[in-house]
Structure 1
Amino acid sequence: MNRWRYFLLALLVLSCVGKHKSDAPKVTVKPTVEHNLEIEADTLVLNLEKSKINWVATEMRGIKIRTGIISFKDGFFLIRNGEIVGGTFIVDMETMDVTDVPLHENIARRNLLNHLKSDDFFNTKHYPLSTLELTSVHRIKNDSLKISGNLTIREVTKNIDFFAHQKGDNFKTIFTFNRLDWNIAYEGSLADKTLVDKEVELTIKIRTE
């Protein structure tokens, strides 16, 4: 009983500390959309060295911030008449890394990464790849796109809507998603359920060649 009293007291104290609250829009999640994979179009290939995914996850309703990066394995846009009409992007989940833990804290970094790569979260051994297949792209303004795509994580596929900005060969989008929608469902004990937040923020930067 004393254990839970101290735990609740700690939550109360920490709730007074500044929290991270993402301003990134939440994706609209829908059932998978069937689309034509054989589109006659030119291919605009991803520059793997200059394209990255930054992620932000939080604990205790934003009090503790976790950050990291993931790399692409492959990717391309489909271009027809100068406009993007589709594309596929493959993410190498084994490249997941953390950036909020200093490099010299080897044990802490290893423990956190092992936890994230385990079946508690992404299970990268069994699900080494995540994919995003664009199902529709609409240009709203010269530099603004509304995109729909089938996002697959842990072999769970759902269609999402999000916005992206284009400047020449550079594309950027930022959004949040609920990890439970893709069975990234680590909950553990009652304390764990309280500690690990459900929303994950992604900042995706793509450079084409």
Structure 2
Amino acid sequence: MKKNILSAVFAIVIATAATAGVNPIDGEKKTVKTTESTVTWKGYKFAGSHEGKIALQSGELLFDGDKLTGGEFVVDMASITVGDLAAGQGKEKLEGHLKADDFFGTENYATSKLVFTSVKATGKNSYDVTGDLTIKGITKAVSFDISVYGSKATATLKVDRTNYDIHYGSTNFTDTLKDKAIYDEFDLVVDLQF
């Protein structure tokens, strides 16, 4: 009888040790449908604004039941387009400039990445997220709100481009720009389907 009890205890200890590195709350990864999701950018300047799209290369959200717990996204920076200008109105010139080293330097930095580091529920479908955003090989923390409804999620981020060595047209680095100044912050509106 003692032998059977010792064997059972030994089996439990081994089973516990074998699963010690596994976190049962890792949750379920839901892959984002990149072709059905959109990332819209909007940049502001003294004399107006421009906006367009950037393609999502990959993405996933992590859930524990129906609660959002994490996420990771990669954006194809070479796909950046301008949506408020038609061909012949400077659309191609602006798209080329956004891809150049003055801005996102897509030849050397083809992708940007966002990794959630903290997710806090603020309501039934709303979350306060902190994440590491990497642009041009530079990683900085960003905070934003995200809402999740069924198989859809929406987030809006405000990004200070100067944190990522994008100084072109910034009044923080020259005061001779006057009406050609470009504001440091730009917006990203992300609509996800998963």
TM-score (norm 2): 0.79
Counterpart Cα distance in 1 of 2:152 and 2:104:
28
Q: Percent identity?
A: 26
Most deviating of 76-85 and 40-49: 76-85
2:82 matches 1:98: yes
TM-score (norm 1): 0.74
Counterpart Cα distance in 1 of 2:193 and 2:127:
16
The equivalent of 1:168 in structure 2 is 150
- Name the count of aligned residue pairs: 167
Q: Deviations over 1:134-170 (max 9, x none)?
A: 1111111112111111100011101111111111111
Q: Which runs of 4+ in 1 moved over 6 A?
A: none
- The unaligned stretches of length 5 or more in structure 1 are 1-37
**Structure with the larger RCO, 1 or 2 (CA within 8 Å, 6+ apart):** 1
Most deviating of 107-116 and 188-197: 188-197
Q: Secondary structure at the match of 2:92?
A: helix
Q: Deviations over 1:11-38 (max 9, x none)?
A: xxxxxxxxxxxxxxxxxxxxxxxxxxx9
Counterpart Cα distance in 1 of 2:26 and 2:123:
24
Q: Where do residues 1-209 of structure 1 align in structure 2 (5 Å cutoff)?
A: 40-60=26-46, 63-102=47-86, 104-105=87-88, 108-187=90-169, 190-191=176-177, 194-208=180-194
Counterpart Cα distance in 1 of 2:179 and 2:71:
36
Considering only aligned residues, what root-mean-square deviation do their CA atoms show, in Å?
Answer: 2.0
Asked if the contact 1:187–1:193 (Cα under 8 Å) also holds between the matched residues in 2, the reply is: no
Counterpart Cα distance in 2 of 1:122 and 1:94:
9
- The unaligned stretches of length 5 or more in structure 2 are 1-22
Asked if the contact 2:143–2:157 (Cα under 8 Å) also holds between the matched residues in 1, the reply is: no
